[in-house]
Amino acid sequence: MFHPNGPPPGFAGPNDHWHQHNANGGLCLRGGFVVGAEDTSPQECANLGGRKTPLLDVYMLHAWVVPGFECDWGVFSGECPELGGRLGGTAWENPEPSAASSRASASG
């Protein structure tokens, strides 16, 4: 969400945590799409056809709200192990093995 002068107002309660992706010069963007994370170097980004872009007044909030895809870590959790996320991981990594096996047994 674009919101100058700080994070936008959130939802009722203290559980929603707005954040930005500006570390290390921001995200690597190409044509409006994210092609590299904050830890992508400027040279790596250029090799991907993108450019590092600080998103100074842009804020993000995770909200796991699709029925059947809830997150045990909470609706506003920054990661969701059941859906492939893991703290310190990426969207391309497999889910934590314990989360994947518990999700499979629950649906089977």
So what's the pLDDT on residue 19? 86
For the cut 70, the answer to whether the pLDDT of residue 90 exceeds it is: no
So what's the pLDDT on residue 48? 95
* Confidence grade of residue 75 (pLDDT, cut at 50, 70, 90): confident
In the block, residue with structure tokens 């192990």 = 81
So what's the pLDDT on residue 85? 58
So what's the pLDDT on residue 91? 52
- Going from the C-alpha of 84 to that of each of 35, 42, 80, 87, the distances in angstroms are 19, 27, 7, 10
- pTM for the full predicted model: 0.61
> What does the mean pLDDT of the chain come to?
80
